[in-house]
């Protein structure tokens, strides 16, 4: 893995490049270059990795390679609080995001997958409910602010 403190790049077994970075602008640039771009947002109250444009990854093998790279990265660069996710839960969440994106359900939220601690152990239905409720709360908050 190539490391410049804020950004790490690695070649996945399938040959693709993954960029994991603490800099959202660098993550966006990596996505523009066609790389697997991951924003490291683990140093918050709800540690998370955000995979930009995750809907573009359809191969289960590629998803597992990416998720395995994140688990390895987290082991080498732990956060406080700790990012605590299991591979099966990560796979289910990504599958739910991709399904929602393809179905046109909350596409703006489903475009990228945020693999945060709060989603550990939730099923797809729980994810949909939580996402839908977040949109409703945001809408009601904007509406209330205009009154």
Span 46-82, pLDDT tens digits: 999 999 999 999 999 999 999 999 999 999 999 999 9
Cα dihedral across residues 20, 116, 64, 103: positive or negative: negative
Return the domain boundaries, the chain: 2-146
Tell me which residue of 26, 104, 6, 95 sits closest to 54, measured CA to CA: 95
pTM of the prediction?
Answer: 0.81
How much is the mean pLDDT over the chain? Answer: 85
């Amino acid at each position: 893995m190539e490391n410049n403190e804020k950004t790490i790049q690695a070649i996945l077994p399938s040959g693709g490049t993954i960029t994991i970075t603490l800099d959202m602008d660098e993550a966006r640039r990596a996505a523009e270059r066609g790389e697997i771009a991951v924003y490291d947002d683990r140093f918050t109250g709800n540690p998370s990795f955000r995979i930009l444009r995750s809907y573009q990854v359809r191969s289960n093998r590629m998803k597992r390679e990416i998720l395995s790279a994140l688990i390895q990265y987290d082991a080498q660069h732990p956060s406080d609080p700790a990012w605590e996710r299991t591979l099966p839960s990560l796979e289910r969440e990504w599958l739910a995001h991709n399904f929602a994106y393809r179905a046109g359900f909350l596409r703006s939220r489903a475009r990228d997958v945020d693999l945060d601690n709060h989603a550990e152990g939730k099923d797809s239905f729980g994810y949909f409910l939580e996402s839908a409720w977040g949109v409703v709360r945001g809408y009601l908050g904007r509406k209330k602010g205009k009154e």
